[in-house]
Amino acid sequence: MRLRNIPRADSVLNECKEVVKNGAEYRGRWREVFGNSNPVHIEIGMGKGQFLLTLAKQNPKINYIGIERYSSVLLRAVEKLQNDSEIPLSNIRFICMDARSVADVFAFGEINCIYLNFSDPWPKARHAPRRLTSREFLSRYHKLLASDGVIEFKTDNRLLFDFSVAEVNASSEFDLVGSTYDLHHDIEMNQGNIMTEYEEKFSALGNPIYKLIASPKDLH
């Protein structure tokens, strides 16, 4: 996907106190960044931020970190935060980085939940390792998650979802806790669901939304 460059994005992100400029400096110390011992949840590929900002408002005793590779996309999340004066949020941070570097930024067992929402499907077979639910990425996540942590993944792409279920089942590090091929009509799985911008768009078109939850096997 070709993204439009926004020249002011870098300057806005540099001036925003919620944007962490060098995440690796805080590896193992993220609770110090927030000034509390609350659980830390991250969203990888957060897009424009609707999902994470909603969670942060609803759950003030959970710390949230949004990871987005593209500054022009992260800019939209920052603007949402800055333009929403309803509730000042102290429990959210952003990082502009590639997801492949997550193990350099977060320490062993430091994260309680990883959200993956409507990730790039990388449809060509040779690009499968780049998918955020590939075994290569699952191995990275296993290093970050607490023993009782979880991964929550949502998509409207059936091929990506089938691939993701197969990758979790084939992994030596994760168990598939739950899955659904029609989230919005699954009473149990849809409880407390927060919709992303993409989710609202695709579900309005009648597309089913798929979701899985995976947890680390007891290897710690």
Domain boundaries, the chain: 9-216
Question: How far is residue 185 CA from its own chain's centroid?
Answer: 23
Residue 155 labeled ligand binder: no
Residue 15 labeled ligand binder: no
Residue 18 labeled ligand binder: no
pLDDT tens for the chain, 220 residues: list them. Answer: 445 567 677 777 888 889 999 999 999 999 999 999 999 999 999 999 999 999 999 999 999 999 999 888 899 999 899 887 566 799 999 999 999 999 999 999 999 999 999 999 999 999 999 999 999 999 999 999 999 999 999 999 999 999 999 999 999 999 999 999 999 999 999 999 999 999 999 999 999 999 999 999 974 4
Element (H, E) at 163: helix 158-170
The tokens describing 79, both together, are 């603007």
Residue 54 labeled ligand binder: no
Residue 68 labeled ligand binder: yes
Per-position b or e across 98-111, b if 16+ CB within 10 A of its CB: ebeebeebbeebbb
Among candidate residues 84, 120, 162, 175, the one labeled active-site is: 120
Q: What is the structure's pLDDT at 16?
A: 84
Q: 3-state class of 132 per DSSP?
A: coil
Q: What is the structure's pLDDT at 88?
A: 75
Closest of 139, 141, 140, 137 to residue 160, by C-alpha:
137
Q: What is the structure's pLDDT at 220?
A: 43
Q: Which residues contact 69 (CB under 8 A, 6 or more apart)?
A: 45, 96, 97, 98, 99
Please confirm, yes or no, whether 104 is among the known catalytic residues: no
Q: 3-state class of 206 per DSSP?
A: coil
Dihedral angle sign, alpha carbons of residues 58, 61, 62, 66: positive
Number of helices (H) and strands (E), helices first, in the chain?
Answer: 8, 7
- Predicted model pTM: 0.94
- How far is the C-alpha of 73 from the C-alpha of 88, rounded, in Å? 22
Q: What is the structure's pLDDT at 2?
A: 45
> 3.40.50.150, 3.40.50.970, 1.10.10.10, 2.60.40.180: which CATH number matches 9-216?
3.40.50.150
Q: Which residues contact 157 (CB under 8 A, 6 or more apart)?
A: 121, 210
- CA-to-CA dists, residue 55 to 43, 63, 107, angstroms: 11, 10, 23
Report strand pairing: 145-155 vs 210-216: antiparallel
Max Cα separation, the chain?
A: 46
